[in-house]
Amino acid sequence: MDKALFLKNDLVTHIRSLPEDTKGRWGKMNLQQMTEHMSNEGFRWASGKVPNTLHTPEEHVPKMQEFLRSEKMFRENTVNALMPVEPLPLRNAGMPEALEELQTEIDYFFAVYEQEPDKKVLGPFFGELDYELWVLLLYKHSLHHLKQFGVNI
């Protein structure tokens, strides 16, 4: 599967296909919170809109990037140390607005790397990532959350 095309064209479609009251199989986020999380702690991080500092010891970064290149997926209930225990308050009026925001951030991510193909952006857990590694991370992150809400790709 072309992971970039999936992110560009299919991610929002899969989320939109779910009833708004779909419960997650794990975790505390509801569907809108997850959608907003993907916008902010996914695509905004990847485009560089939200600056980060490295939270992984430097010597562990190569192993973390090796994970991105592997076929391994995130485990259920993977903890993001930068997120609060309780989900963040909603930013958007509803799911339509959250989905529009997510698509806007996806489009912005791809536009950034079209303009600057050699750009690298620091991720808080995986270190300096180029376009290819961000696509791998965003794809794994997306599949993790789709699976959380019952969509298996």
What's the gap between Cα 72 and its chain centre?
Answer: 16
User: Which two structure tokens, joined as six digits, stand for 107?
Assistant: 């489009």
* pLDDT band per the 50, 70, 90 thresholds, residue 86: very high
Q: CA separation (Å) from 148 to 44, 65, 144?
A: 21, 23, 6
CATH of 3-74+89-148, picked from 1.20.120, 3.20.20, 1.20.1280, 1.10.10, is: 1.20.120
**Is this prediction's pTM over 0.85?**
yes
User: What pLDDT is recorded for position 79?
Assistant: 85
pLDDT tens digits for range 103-121: 999 999 999 999 999 999 9
- Opening angle at CA 72, ends 127 and 148, nearest 5: 95
Q: What are phi and psi of 75, to 5 degrees?
A: -75, 155
User: What pLDDT is recorded for position 139?
Assistant: 98
Question: Residue 1 above 80 pLDDT?
Answer: no
Q: What are phi and psi of 121, to 5 degrees?
A: -130, 135
pLDDT tens digits for range 29-58: 999 999 999 999 999 999 999 999 999 999
